């Protein structure tokens, strides 16, 4: 009778994509089940390239948000799904996982977490070391072109024919901006939510405000008319229109709605929250008394950038040299209205390439959130941005990559 050596690996897991999610699945699966032969197929000549450039070269690994109910609110798409998956592996587990492997993370004031080295290479070195330790094989320049399931095996068609078959497959190929790039996954009978941009800035063509490019305010509230979308946060005026965290968050939450509107919509900007038109009018009374004899252009009482203040005066046709006491009530009303509810018409978007994340991907109702296994094809798993999950900026996208990669690994390793 033939006895296999205990080290012989019968079962193969092929992970498609050598990004954050693919690595996390591969290294954890190889560690959890030493009998599993784990191969990463990466189409390019590099792995972890987004980790390298992420967070300005520092890698914003996760976010110091430790309540699952709060954490899920940072994901415009995937909240209900993530409520289940974060139960298995969340931000605390990420911090611990890296710490157990000698990589300490620190939180910045806004909650974003980075390696204490402030260098994304630390994360890459840790993942590569882990892959070497558990014998994960990495095949470069190996693009998966198509997958067929024949006799309980996945038959793989790759660009370089280095790979043929796998017992388990984890698709961790990241987001694709074009629908046609998902064809090989659609052929596995999975439905794909149309990919559309999720992080972009708002264009306001031919508007005076763009002459203030480079000016920013710490806190403004932008509301998108005829929707429930509203965000408060830093706003930056650019050559094309408006940008900054508040705009990017709106673009993420409104990705689908704004796409349907073909990126033509109206917004209202309150430059002075928490004031609203009425409370600012009340306040105005005392300001007017306080600054009565001062020129309005010299006295900008709200800490707004001076160029912006002058722009508002100009927009309201207010003579810059007028004294506070001499402002007519109709001009005063106009200024208050502009400061608290300035209307703009947005025509088009500019894609924010720096932190581009695709919205869309494999439909979540076809994936089991507790295992990451396909509900359609047995032994097929998904991890990372290929799924229809996306987070706002701040480390949430990587957290989803770690969570889904780990859950897939755990469930593959026990089969």
Provide the binding-site residues for ligand FAD, judged by CB under 6 A.
Answer: 16-22, 41-44, 49-50, 53-55, 59-60, 143-144, 172-174, 354-357, 384-385, 395-398, 401
Contact 61, 398 (CB under 8 A): yes
Q: How far is the CB of 250 from ligand FAD (least distance, A)?
A: 18
Q: How far is the CB of 48 from ligand FAD (least distance, A)?
A: 7
Specify the residue, 270 or 399, whose C-beta has the smaller distance to ligand FAD.
Answer: 399
Kindly state the tokens that stand for 329.
């009530």
CA distance between the termini of the chain: 26
Q: How far is the CB of 389 from ligand FAD (least distance, A)?
A: 9
| Residue 145 to residue 44: CA distance in whole angstroms | 13
Specify the residue, 271 or 382, whose C-beta has the smaller distance to ligand FAD.
Answer: 382
Beta-carbon count within 10 A of 139 CB: 16
Secondary structure E strands in 167-263: 168-171, 192-197, 200-203, 216-224, 230-237, 241-243
Specify the residue, 62 or 413, whose C-beta has the smaller distance to ligand FAD.
Answer: 62
β-partners of residue 347 are: 264
Q: How far is the CB of 168 from ligand FAD (least distance, A)?
A: 16
Specify the residue, 79 or 276, whose C-beta has the smaller distance to ligand FAD.
Answer: 79
Specify the residue, 223 or 400, whose C-beta has the smaller distance to ligand FAD.
Answer: 400
Of 99, 187, 107, 118, residue with least CA distance to 147: 187
Specify the residue, 17 or 233, whose C-beta has the smaller distance to ligand FAD.
Answer: 17
| Residue 120 to residue 280: CA distance in whole angstroms | 46
| Residue 400 to residue 82: CA distance in whole angstroms | 8
Q: How far is the CB of 391 from ligand FAD (least distance, A)?
A: 7
Q: How far is the CB of 18 from ligand FAD (least distance, A)?
A: 5
Of 250, 264, 269, residue with least CA distance to 200: 250
Specify the residue, 41 or 220, whose C-beta has the smaller distance to ligand FAD.
Answer: 41
Q: What is the dihedral of CA 133, 135, 137, 138, to 10 degrees?
A: 0
Q: How far is the CB of 337 from ligand FAD (least distance, A)?
A: 38
| Residue 123 to residue 196: CA distance in whole angstroms | 29
């Amino acid at each position: 009778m033939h006895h296999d050596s205990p080290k012989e690996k019968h079962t193969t897991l092929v992970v498609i994509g050598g990004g954050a999610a693919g690595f996390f699945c591969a290294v954890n699966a190889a560690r959890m089940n030493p009998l599993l032969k784990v191969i990463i197929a990466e189409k390019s000549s590099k792995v972890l390239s987004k980790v390298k450039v992420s967070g300005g070269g520092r890698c914003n690994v996760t976010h110091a948000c430790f309540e699952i109910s709060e954490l899920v609110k940072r994901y415009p798409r995937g909240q209900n799904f993530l409520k289940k998956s974060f139960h298995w592996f969340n931000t605390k587990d990420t911090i611990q996982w890296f710490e157990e492997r000698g990589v300490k993370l620190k939180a910045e004031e806004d909650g974003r977490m980075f390696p204490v080295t402030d260098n994304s290479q630390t994360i890459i070195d840790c993942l590569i070391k882990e892959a070497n330790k558990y014998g994960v094989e990495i095949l470069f320049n190996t693009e998966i072109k198509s997958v067929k399931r024949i006799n309980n095996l996945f038959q793989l068609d790759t660009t370089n024919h280095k790979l043929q078959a796998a017992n388990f497959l984890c698709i961790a190929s990241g987001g694709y901006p074009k629908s046609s790039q998902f064809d090989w996954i659609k052929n596995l009978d999975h439905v794909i939510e149309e990919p559309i941009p999720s992080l972009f800035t708002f264009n306001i063509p031919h508007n005076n405000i763009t002459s203030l490019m480079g000016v920013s305010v710490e806190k403004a509230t932008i509301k998108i008319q005829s929707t429930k979308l509203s965000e408060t946060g830093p706003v930056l005026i650019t050559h094309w229109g408006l940008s900054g965290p508040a705009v990017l968050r709106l673009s993420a939450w409104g990705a689908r709605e704004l796409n349907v509107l073909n990126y033509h919509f109206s917004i209202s900007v309150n430059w002075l929250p928490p004031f609203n038109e009425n409370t600012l009018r009340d306040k105005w009374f005392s300001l007017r008394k306080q600054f009565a004899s001062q020129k309005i252009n010299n006295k900008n009482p709200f800490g707004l950038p001076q160029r912006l203040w002058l722009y508002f005066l100009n927009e309201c046709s207010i003579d810059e040299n007028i004294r506070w006491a001499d402002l007519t009530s109709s001009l005063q009303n106009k200024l208050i209205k502009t400061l608290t509810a300035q209307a703009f018409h947005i025509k088009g978007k500019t894609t924010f390439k720096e932190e581009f994340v695709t919205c869309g991907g494999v439909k979540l109702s076809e994936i089991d959130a507790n295992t990451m296994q396909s509900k359609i094809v047995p032994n097929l798993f998904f991890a990372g941005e290929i799924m229809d999950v996306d987070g706002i900026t701040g480390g949430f996208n990587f957290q989803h990559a770690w969570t889904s990669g780990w859950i897939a690994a755990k469930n593959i390793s026990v089969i």
